[in-house]
Amino acid sequence: MPRNAERRRSWRRFLPPTRRRSGLPRSPLRPILSGHNATFIPDVIWVGLAMFYGGLTQLLAGMWEFRNRNVFGATAFSTYGGFWLSLGVFVVLAEATSLGSGLKGPDVLNSLAWFLLAFAIFNTYMLFWSTRVSVAVFAVFATLEATEILLAIGFFREANGYSPYITHVGGWVGIATAACAWYASAAGVINGMSPERRVLPVGAPLWGRMTVGSSRGSRMRRGREVAGGH
């Protein structure tokens, strides 16, 4: 199989993470890439989504969360915004420039696996801290953790000549992640539009309710709860 065709087959089954926790809508990127991993959605469209929606939009959201003094949201948004931008640029450079000639044999699959593994480590401690936000946010991080680990294992297996079965399973788990993320997004939007009452339940923090507030003397409202999706 030609080298470029083999790389395209590798991208086709890749589902890294994306994160939405505030009032912004959940990205269409996750279900599209999960569909790739599960083999029922065609290729190519995800690159533009990765760079602009999952990447740039999420990075901007992270900067707004820094302004809101929401350390959790800022870290999640900006980290995964940078993740998607770097992945999109990597794919473009590998496919469209001479830099791709440095990738030989199973290099692409191994690269994707290590890429996912690094972010799975990051997602692990964010999973723990998401228990202070809400059950809905915790569900997103928990299913995402399973997706990342399964895909990393799947790509390592494929790089060593095994079947893509585990990768496909990771894709279907990614669909579950998308479902959790869409619900959390819908709750975040409608609850943010209805400050007098919570329209969609997100579940109380599992421990230690997290608040974000300003430093002394700031005009920002102190003690703003983030658990309700505001």
Secondary structure of 70-82 as H, E, C letters: CHHHHHHHHHHHH
Q: What values do phi and psi take at 195, rounded to 5? A: -65, -20
- Predicted confidence at residue 51, as pLDDT, reads 85
- Predicted confidence at residue 41, as pLDDT, reads 63
Give the whole-number percent of the chain exceeding pLDDT 70: 72
Q: Is the pLDDT of residue 222 over 60?
A: no
Residue 118 — very low, low, confident or very high, per pLDDT cuts 50/70/90?
very high
Residue 12 — very low, low, confident or very high, per pLDDT cuts 50/70/90?
very low
When mean pLDDT is compared over 14-23, 37-46, 50-59, the highest value belongs to 50-59
The DSSP call for residue 214 is: P
* Nearest in space to 36 (alpha carbons), one of 27, 49, 22, 46: 46
Q: Which tops the pLDDT comparison, 40 or 125?
A: 125
Q: Is the pLDDT of residue 81 over 50?
A: yes
Tokens for 60?
């901007």
Measured between alpha carbons, how far is 85 from 80 in angstroms, rounded to an integer?
A: 8
Task: Report pLDDT digits (tens) over 126-175.
Answer: 999 999 999 999 999 999 999 999 999 999 999 999 999 999 999 889 88
- If phi > 0 it is left, if psi is from -120 to 50 it is alpha, else beta; for residue 229 that is left
- Predicted confidence at residue 34, as pLDDT, reads 58
Query: What pTM was computed for the model?
Result: 0.75
Residue 37 — very low, low, confident or very high, per pLDDT cuts 50/70/90?
low
Q: Is the pLDDT of residue 180 over 50?
A: yes
